[in-house]
């Protein structure tokens, strides 16, 4: 479903000022050009350098990607147990972890890492993720071919001997004099385990010495549960390039996400039908994303009360008229306007109650409130393809909202507001020993997702430095006190 640029080439506006490649046929992936028409224009101008970098990457991916002679040669070397010197193509193979929001954040982080280190990004696509996203790179594929030799996800864990940290420990590699290590002396691939461990990013590789050694491996396999893009900003050797790519640091996921992720025509059908039926003609759209984490359950009444407090304090929805008050159908500019509330949640209770409220009582200013919820799946199902299609559709629908309130800690919500380029209100988690959060919600300082587990700054430093205190472009997250967020 990939074709060269032809008569049906989309206009420059549809390519988001050069973010998207002109090398696709529009019909193969309608969302690529249609989805952004449902949103306000991006508030973050694209840097010409990033656009250039993406075009260069696309050419590289096409040259080295699956199906090419170079790819076959690289796989042959991997199978032969050799890491060749002076390889023309280098690869990073992404493996999935957790739910869809987490996966989108780690794919984008891995892609940024690939851009910075001249690697081709390939994805291990599990059955539950098949058919969700269009190919992002023209004339090639990002799907890891099925005959890839190191295709066993069970081998990828913190104790794997192939992990970089374990190779360092066992003396297979050294990072004290990285320039002296010949590439051909290294194992055929390295595993980078970038997961949260004791509230820190494990493997702690975001330092120059380690990156020099890692750069010598032609094959890297990576698994992560974290939005590790902010950690790349803490690696001195990447700093300058990142500053050119992202003059506004809070737009990293906003741009990379809009570049990489395009729902396939099937999922786009779900999104488009829903949007056209319920959201296209309203005056304002407000998204509420309510996520109850199994590991930190919150009672329905408490979550509902918190949402109501947030709505009231931040004036997100019109007030109801008192019982004795006549409804005002004529006053002010708001009368007759329609505000749509889109609810994303696994449960239907929040929708039922909010809809009931505006069904039973008029609003004080005469505004009309229409409440919608596309699905309520009840259970999260990591391995169901249909379930993931709905999850993806809802992330997109949320991302068309003008205002968003979301549950703390949820990567599902992070992706939605970041696509939108809208700073959300975050419904804070109660303190660990409390059932109710004292503060209902706070406004996020940026549209970047939060990295829940910070890396250690200055890799060999003995003491623990607070990154947010020394780097002017990172802050602690509103919802995860020790987390980091670019802004
Ligand atoms: P997180 O756990 O909130 O950080 O988000 P993830 O997306 O990584 O994992 C949660 C998964 O649960 C999602 O991918 C969905 O499969 C499911 N899920 C959670 N909330 C919703 C929702 O509002 N709508 C739908 N359709 N699925 C949801």
C-alpha to C-alpha distances, 136 to 2, 132, 280, nearest whole angstrom: 10, 12, 27
Check pocket membership of 314 for ligand 1, CB cut-off 6 A. Answer: no
**DSSP states of 329-395:** SSSTTTTT-EEEEEEEESSSHHHHHHHHHHHHS-BTT--EEEEE-S---SS--TT-HHHHHHHHHHH
Element (H, E) at 441: strand 441-443
Domains for the chain: give ranges and CATH numbers.
13-260 (no CATH), 269-486 (3.40.50.11350)
The number of the ligand 1 atom at minimal distance from the alpha carbon of 409 is 4
**Contact status, residue 317 vs residue 376, Cβ threshold 8 Å:** no
Name the closest-CA residue to atom 9, ligand 1.
99
Residue 461 confidence (pLDDT): 67
Cα→Cα distances 340→152, 368, 423, Å: 45, 8, 18
CA–CA dist 255, 273 (Å, integer): 25
Answer yes or no: is the C-beta of 136 below 6 A from any ligand 1 atom.
no
Q: Which residues of the chain have pLDDT under 70?
A: 1-10, 12, 326-332, 460-462
- In 139-228, where does DSSP find H-type helix? 164-170, 208-214
Q: What is the DSSP letter of 296?
A: B
Q: What pLDDT does 13 receive?
A: 80
Sign, CA torsion 166/170/176/178: negative
Ligand 1 within 6 A of 345 CB? yes
Residue nearest to atom 25 of ligand 1 (CA): 391
pLDDT score for 325: 77
Q: Please give the distance, rounded to the nearest whole angstrom, from the Cα atom of residue 204 to the centre of ligand 1.
A: 28
Residue 320 DSSP SS3: strand
412 C-alpha vs ligand 1 centroid, how far in Å? 6
User: Is residue 391 lining ligand 1, measured as CB closer than 6 Å?
Assistant: yes
Find the 354 Cα to ligand 1 centroid distance in Å.
21
CA 283 to CA 279: how far, in whole Å?
9
At 39 the pLDDT is 95
204 lines ligand 1 (CB under 6 A): no
Three-state SS for 145-163 is CCCCCCCCHHHCCCCCCCE
**Residue-wise burial string across 124-137, b where 16 or more C-beta atoms lie within 10 A, e elsewhere:** bbeebbebbbbbbb
Tally Cβ neighbours within 10 Å of residue 152: 10
Distance in angstroms (rounded) separating the CA atoms of residues 220 and 231 = 18
What is the sign, positive or negative, of the torsion defined by CA atoms of 381, 221, 54, 467? positive
DSSP at 276: I
pLDDT at residue 381 in the model: 87
Q: Which residues contact 269 (CB under 8 A, 6 or more apart)?
A: none
CA of 291 to the centre of ligand 1 (A): 7
Is ligand 1 within 6 A of the CB of residue 346? Answer: yes
Q: 344 CB less than 6 Å from ligand 1?
A: yes
Ligand 1 in contact with 28 (CB < 6 A)?
no
Write phi, then psi, for 204 (nearest 5 degrees). Answer: 35, 65
pLDDT at position 202:
74
Residue 47 pLDDT? 97
Whether the Cβ atoms of residue 461 and residue 428 lie closer than 8 Å to each other: no
Question: C-alpha distances in angstroms, 389 versus 105, 133, 410, 435?
Answer: 17, 10, 18, 33
Which residue has a Cα nearest atom 23 of ligand 1? Answer: 345
Neighbouring C-beta atoms of residue 434, cutoff 10 Å: 10
CB of residue 385 inside a 6 A radius of ligand 1: no
Give the C-alpha separation, 426 to 285, whole Å.
17
ipTM exceeding the 0.90 mark: yes
Ligand 1 lined by 101 (C-beta under 6 Å):
yes
- Residue to mutate (ligand 1; options 257, 267, 391, 410; most atoms within 8 A of CB): 391
Which residue has the CA at smallest separation from atom 26 of ligand 1? 391
How confident is the model at residue 199, as a pLDDT? 75
Element (H, E) at 484: strand 484-486
* Cβ proximity of 364 and 334 under 8 Å: no
Contact by Cβ (8 Å): 103, 26: no
State if residue 377 touches ligand 1 by the CB under 6 angstroms criterion: yes
Which atom of ligand 1 is least distant from the CA of 387?
16
Give me the residues paired with residue 196 across strands.
201
Cβ(100) – ligand 1 distance below 6 Å: yes
What torsion, rounded to 10 degrees, do the Cα atoms 10, 11, 14, 16 define?
120
Confirm or reject: Cβ of 380 under 6 Å from ligand 1.
Answer: yes
Cβ of 452 below 6 Å from ligand 1: no
Pick the atom of ligand 1 nearest to 393's CA.
26
């Amino acid at each position: 479903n990939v074709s060269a640029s032809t008569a049906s080439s989309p206009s420059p506006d549809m390519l988001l000022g050069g973010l998207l490649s002109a090398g696709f046929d529009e019909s193969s992936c309608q969302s690529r050009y249609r989805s952004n028409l449902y949103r306000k224009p991006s508030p973050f101008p694209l840097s010409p350098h990033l656009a250039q970098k993406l075009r260069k990457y696309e050419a590289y991916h096409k040259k080295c990607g699956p199906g090419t002679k170079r790819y076959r040669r690289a796989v042959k070397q991997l199978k032969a147990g050799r890491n060749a010197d002076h390889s023309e193509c280098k690869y990073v193979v992404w493996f999935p972890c957790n739910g869809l929001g987490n996966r989108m954040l780690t794919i984008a982080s891995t892609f940024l890492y690939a851009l910075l280190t001249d690697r081709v990004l390939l994805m291990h696509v599990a059955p539950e993720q098949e058919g969700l996203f269009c190919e992002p790179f023209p004339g090639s594929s990002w799907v890891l071919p099925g005959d890839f030799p190191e295709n066993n996800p069970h081998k990828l864990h913190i104790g794997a001997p192939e992990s970089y940290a374990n190779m360092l420990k066992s003396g297979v590699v050294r990072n004290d004099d990285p320039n002296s290590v010949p590439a051909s002396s290294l194992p055929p691939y390295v595993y980078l385990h970038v997961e949260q461990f004791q509230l820190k990013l494990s493997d702690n590789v975001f330092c120059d010495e380690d990156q020099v050694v890692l750069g010598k491996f032609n094959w890297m396999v990576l698994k992560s549960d974290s939005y590790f893009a902010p950690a790349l900003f803490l690696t001195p050797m990447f700093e300058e390039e990142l500053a050119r790519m992202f003059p506004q640091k809070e737009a990293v996921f906003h741009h990379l996400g809009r570049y990489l992720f395009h729902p396939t025509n099937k999922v786009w059908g779900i999104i488009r039908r829903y949007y056209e039926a319920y959201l296209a003609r309203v005056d304002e759209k407000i998204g509420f994303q309510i996520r109850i984490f199994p590991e930190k359950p919150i009672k329905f009444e408490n979550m509902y009360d918190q949402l109501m407090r947030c709505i009231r304090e931040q004036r997100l929805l019109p007030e109801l008229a008192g019982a004795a008050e006549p409804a005002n159908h004529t006053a002010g500019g708001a009368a007759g306007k329609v505000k749509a509330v889109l609810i994303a949640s696994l449960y239907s209770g929040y929708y039922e109650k909010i809809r009931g409220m505006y069904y039973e009582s008029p609003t004080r200013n005469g505004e009309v409130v229409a409440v919608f919820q596309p699905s309520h799946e009840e259970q999260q199902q990591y391995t169901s393809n249909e379930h993931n299609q709905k999850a993806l559709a809802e992330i997109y629908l949320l991302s068309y909202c003008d205002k968003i309130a979301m549950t703390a800690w949820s990567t599902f919500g992070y992706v939605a507001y970041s696509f939108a380029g809208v700073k959300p209100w975050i419904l804070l988690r109660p303190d660990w020993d409390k059932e109710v959060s004292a503060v209902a919600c706070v406004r996020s300082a940026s549209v970047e997702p939060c990295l829940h587990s910070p890396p250690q700054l200055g890799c060999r430093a003995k003491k623990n430095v607070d990154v947010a205190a020394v780097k002017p472009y990172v802050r602690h997250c509103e919802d995860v006190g020790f987390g980091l967020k670019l802004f």
